[in-house]
């Protein structure tokens, strides 16, 4: 009798800890720059994903399982992104919310496509990410060609007669935004009095500042990564130069000390519309703030990426990339960004770019 009871207990323990019983979670990955100059954006990625998970899990989870995510830091580096993508493919992760930077997203996308992983970036804006026609790659933000057009239009509307300087970095993001903006400006008869490539580290902008001063440029368009922008505004202040500084979405993450935030005052930049201002998200914003979180910038675009993937999985009744991808490209989804869909390339249907301005360290819609 004791022996039978012993084997009965072993059977119960075996059932309790068997893989079939323990498998009660679906795991996806949140990937992007998570440290150094990207730490703040990384927190937005994680907060947005966590908010969406709480909503999904509270409504029954996904295909009968609870959602959770793991985090990987690619440091916005293409080679690191490839290593992480291979790791996630090996782990049989079905969905990646990321990457942050376009170079990293593009490098990882080949691996995701090959291994049947859905990847949705809330922030990678380079057209090449989706223009290659991959079936599993999407984004919940706009594209650089649209961003370049918006910046050109803003210049023509507000600064058409002002001497303009165009500054760019070697990275794909900066180069492409300037390329598109310059094209549309040229078509309208507007040329830059300065057209220069910015220096590499340690970011000594003295030569460029000399040219801006010498040509009396009153407006400077410089889409750059946050660390370059921080150096640029500091050196502008040190030189005592006064010009309107324009840029792209990277101005949401310029890391400055609190006492330096005034250096951004007057900066005008393009970024997608802020869903935190949408009254339909009032309860979500309150929930974040009750947790001590200010849901800025990419928080909602990350939230939406998780939402659309989960909704597509529910419709498909499967985590299989080919089936989920078909759903993503064939219908609209109700999200924190409003109702959105994707075209055949994987580009989002509605959020474009609008202009913002810094004032006293805070961002406001440009009016």
Residue 69's nearest CA partner among 98, 108, 37, 109 is 98
Residues in the chain where the model's pLDDT stays below 70: 1-23, 351
Are both 135 and 154 inside the same structural domain?
A: no
Are both 21 and 105 inside the same structural domain?
A: yes
DSSP for 347-365 reads -BSS---EEEEEETTEEEE
Q: Where does a domain end: 215, 238, 271? A: 271
Give Cα separations from 248 to 21, 88, 167, 178 (angstroms): 49, 31, 12, 10
Q: Where does a domain end: 255, 271, 287? A: 271
Instruction: Examine residue 357 and state whether it is found in any structural domain, yes or no.
Output: no
Domain range for 305 is 13-142+277-351
Are both 99 and 34 inside the same structural domain?
A: yes
CA-to-CA distance for 68 and 28, rounded, in angstroms?
Answer: 7
CA-to-CA distance for 151 and 142, rounded, in angstroms?
Answer: 13
Domain with residue 41: its CATH number is 3.40.50.2300
Are both 138 and 281 inside the same structural domain?
A: yes
Are both 234 and 188 inside the same structural domain?
A: yes
Q: What pLDDT does residue 240 have? A: 97
DSSP for 148-210 reads HHHHHHHHHHH-TTS-EEEEE-SSHHHHHHHHHHHHHHHHTT---SEEEEPP-TTT--HHHHH
- What are the backbone dihedrals phi and psi of residue 119, each rounded to the nearest 5 degrees, phi first? -125, 130
CA-to-CA distance for 97 and 353, rounded, in angstroms?
Answer: 21
Q: What pLDDT does residue 203 have? A: 96
Instruction: Examine residue 204 and state whether it is found in any structural domain, yes or no.
Output: yes
Total of domains in the chain: 2
Q: Where does a domain end: 216, 250, 271? A: 271
Are both 154 and 262 inside the same structural domain?
A: yes
CA-to-CA distance for 50 and 222, rounded, in angstroms?
Answer: 33
pLDDT in tens, 23-63: 489 999 999 999 998 999 999 999 999 999 999 999 999 99
Are both 238 and 202 inside the same structural domain?
A: yes
Could you give the 3-state DSSP secondary structure of residue 26? strand
CA-to-CA distance for 27 and 61, rounded, in angstroms?
Answer: 12
Dmax (CA) for the chain in angstroms is: 98
Are both 212 and 193 inside the same structural domain?
A: yes
Are both 136 and 158 inside the same structural domain?
A: no
DSSP for 210-273 reads HHHHHTT-SEEE----HHHHHHHHHHHHHHT---EEEE-GGGGG----GGGGGGGTT-EEEE--
| Residue that has been written with the tokens 């498998």 in this structure | 23
User: Tell me, what DSSP letter sits at residue 91?
Assistant: T
Q: What pLDDT does residue 351 have? A: 64
Contacts of 89 (CB under 8 A, 6+ apart): 111, 112, 114, 115, 117
How many CA within 13 A on the CB side of residue 13? 6
Are both 122 and 229 inside the same structural domain?
A: no
Are both 75 and 97 inside the same structural domain?
A: yes
Are both 328 and 244 inside the same structural domain?
A: no
- What are the backbone dihedrals phi and psi of residue 29, each rounded to the nearest 5 degrees, phi first? -120, 140
Task: Check whether the bond before 106 is cis (ω within 30° of 0).
Answer: no
Instruction: Examine residue 53 and state whether it is found in any structural domain, yes or no.
Output: yes
Instruction: Examine residue 367 and state whether it is found in any structural domain, yes or no.
Output: no
Instruction: Examine residue 62 and state whether it is found in any structural domain, yes or no.
Output: yes
Q: Are 322 and 116 in contact (CB under 8 A)?
A: yes
Q: What pLDDT does residue 296 have? A: 87
């Amino acid at each position: 009798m004791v022996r039978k009871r012993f084997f009965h207990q072993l059977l119960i323990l075996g059932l309790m800890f068997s893989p079939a019983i323990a498998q009660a979670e679906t795991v996806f990955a949140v990937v992007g720059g998570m440290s150094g100059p990207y730490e703040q954006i990384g927190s937005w990625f994680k907060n947005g994903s966590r908010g969406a998970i709480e909503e999904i899990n509270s409504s029954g989870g996904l295909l009968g399982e609870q959602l959770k995510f793991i985090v990987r830091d690619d440091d916005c580096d293409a080679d690191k992104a490839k290593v992480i993508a291979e790791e996630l493919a090996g782990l049989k992760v079905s969905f990646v919310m990321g990457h942050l930077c376009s170079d990293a997203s593009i490098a990882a996308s080949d691996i995701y496509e090959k291994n049947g992983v859905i990847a949705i970036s809330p922030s990678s804006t380079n057209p090449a990410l989706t223009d290659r026609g991959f079936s599993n790659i999407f984004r919940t933000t706009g594209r650089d060609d649209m961003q370049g057009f918006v910046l050109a239009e803003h210049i023509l509307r507000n600064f058409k007669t002002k001497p303009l300087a165009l500054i760019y970095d070697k990275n794909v993001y900066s180069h492409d935004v300037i390329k598109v903006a310059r094209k549309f400006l040229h078509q309208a008869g507007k040329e830059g009095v300065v057209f220069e490539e910015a220096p590499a580290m340690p970011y000594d902008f003295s030569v460029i500042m000399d040219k801006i001063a010498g040509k009396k440029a009153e407006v400077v368009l410089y889409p750059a990564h946050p660390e370059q922008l921080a150096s640029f505004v500091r050196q502008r202040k040190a030189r005592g130069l006064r010009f309107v500084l324009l840029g792209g979405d990277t101005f949401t993450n310029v890391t400055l000390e609190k006492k330096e935030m005034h250096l951004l005052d007057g900066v005008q930049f393009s970024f997608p519309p802020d869903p935190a201002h949408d009254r339909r998200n009032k309860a979500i914003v309150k929930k974040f703030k009750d947790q001590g979180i200010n849901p800025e910038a990419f928080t909602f675009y990350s939230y939406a990426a998780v939402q659309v993937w989960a909704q597509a999985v529910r419709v498909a009744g499967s985590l299989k990339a080919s089936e989920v991808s078909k759903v993503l490209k064939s219908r609209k989804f109700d999200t924190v960004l409003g109702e959105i869909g994707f075209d055949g390339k994987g580009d989002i249907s509605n959020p474009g770019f609008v202009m913002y301005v810094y004032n006293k360290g805070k961002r406001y819609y440009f009016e």
